[in-house]
Amino acid sequence: MAPPPARNDDFFDRVFDVVARIPFGRVTTYGHIAAHLGSKRAARTVGWALRAAAGHGLPCHRVVNRYGGLSGHAAFGGPHVMEDLLRSEGVAFVDEAIVDINAHLWIPGEPV
């Protein structure tokens, strides 16, 4: 797949770098990515970056909201695609479209 689109704002590029490092079978949140990049109030901007990266080979499906909810599923071609991708990696769910965040959370900057 093609690399994510280039942006004038390097914040998007830094988001792409973090997302590329999310380990298989783990998830992180928009807020954790924003905080790691020094802008803890920029979770929504992280979401915009991920929308721009959709279809470019980054594991954007591994980014969930702070409750473990699959809030980015619209960028994956349907509501079940994101869930299917996560389940194929062994990610457990506690409810419909809610990841077991306690079992699978990866915080950027921390060892796996």
Predicted confidence at residue 71, as pLDDT, reads 85
Q: Which residues pair with 69 in a beta bridge?
A: 98
Q: Give 111: exposed, middle or buried? Use CB within 10 Å, 0-12, 13-18, 19+.
A: exposed
- Residue 9, pLDDT score: 67
Q: Which residue numbers are catalytic?
A: 60
For β-strands 98-99 and 93-95, DSSP reports them as antiparallel
Annotated domain spans of the chain: 10-104
The CATH class given to the 10-104 domain equals mainly alpha
**Residue numbers in the chain where pLDDT is lower than 50:** 1, 8
Give tens-digit pLDDT for 56-80: 889 999 999 999 999 877 777 776 8
Q: Tell me the C-alpha distance between 11 and 101, whole Å.
A: 25
Q: β-strands 63-64, 98-99: how paired?
A: unpaired
The pLDDT assigned to 38 comes to 95
